[in-house]
Amino acid sequence: MSDPVLRLTGISKTYNKGRENEVTVLREAELSLQAGEIVALVAPSGAGKSTLLHMAGLLDTPDAGRVEIGGVDMTGLGDRRRTVARRREVGFVYQFHHLLPEFSALENVVLPQLANGVARRAAEARAQELLDQVGVGERAGHRPSAMSGGEQQRVAFCRALANGPRILLADEPTGNLDPATSDRVFERLVTLVRETGLSALIATHNLELAARMDRVLRLDNGTVVAG
C-alpha cells in the first residue's frame, strides 16, 4: 500500500491541564487515510471528533503525537508555515456553511483562491466549474441568504475544494439539513470527492450516511477504533 495521505500517530490532547476542569479528549489516537478514501468518524457528542479534525487539519496542535500530510511531518511547523500548509493541503466543511453573507456564491469560492495567490480570472473560472459540478452553477451570482440550506452547503463544499486540497475534513457536513436534503447533499459531496480524487474524513452522527463511506472509524475513550 502507498503512503497514507494523512497519518496521525500517538495523538493526545488534554484541555485545561492542571485545572479542576481538566479533560483528556484524545489518548494516543492513531488514524490513517489512504489516497481516494472516504472515511466516516462516528462518536457520541463530546467524544472528541472536532478535536481530532482540528489536529488533522492543522488548526490546533496535539500535546503529543505526530501529524503527517502527504508523508510530511507537520508537527513541528511554526504558525506561519502551518497556515500555509493548511491552506494548501486541507479543505474544511462544517455543520453550518459559514459563507460570507455580503459576497455572492461565486465570490465565496474565489476568495480563498486569491488568498492563495491565484489570479482572479483563473479563480473565477475554477469557482464556476466547481459550482456547476455540484449543481448550483446557475446560482453563482446569488448571496447565501438567497439560497436554500442545501445550496449553501454545496457552495461551502466548493469553497473547501477551491485550492485543490489533498484532504477534505468535514464536521457534521449535513447535520443542519432535513433528512431528505441531507441525503441528496451528502451524495453530491461523495460524488465531488470521488471525481476530484481527494481523501475525506467525515465526522457524523448519522450511521446510515457513515455506512455509505469506504470505512467507518469510531472514537472510543480517546482512541480511534474500527467501527
Which residue has cell 472514537? 219
- The answer to whether the CB of 38 falls within 8 A of the CB of 71 is no
Question: What separation in angstroms does the CA of 74 have from each of 52, 153, 219?
Answer: 15, 29, 23
Beta bridge partners of 23: 15
Q: Which of 92, 54, 91, 58 is nearest to 76 (CA)?
A: 58
Alpha-carbon Rg for the chain in angstroms: 17
Residue with cell 445550496: 151
Q: Does 23 bind ligand ATP (CB under 6 A)?
A: yes
Q: Based on the shown chain and the rule CB under 6 A, indicate whether residue 51 belongs to the binding site for ligand ATP.
A: yes
Among 7, 29, 39, 49, binds ligand ATP (CB under 6 A): 49
Q: Which is nearer to ligand ATP, 60 or 102 (CB)?
A: 60
Q: Given the complex with ligand ATP, which of 43 and 147 has the nearer CB atom?
A: 43
Shortest reach from residue 54's CB to ligand ATP, in Å: 8
201 binds ligand ATP (CB under 6 A): no
- Beta strand 64-69 with 72-73 is antiparallel
> Using the rule CB under 6 A, is 45 a contact of ligand ATP?
yes
Which of the stretches 15-23, 116-124, 155-163, 182-190 binds ligand ATP when contact is defined by CB under 6 A? 15-23
Q: Considering beta carbons, is residue 79 or 138 the nearer one to ligand ATP? A: 79
**What's the full length of the chain, in residues?**
227
Minimal distance, residue 161 CB to ligand ATP, in Å:
22
Residue 62 interacts with ligand ATP (CB under 6 A): yes or no: no
Binding site for ligand ATP (CB under 6 A): 15-16, 23, 25, 43, 45-51
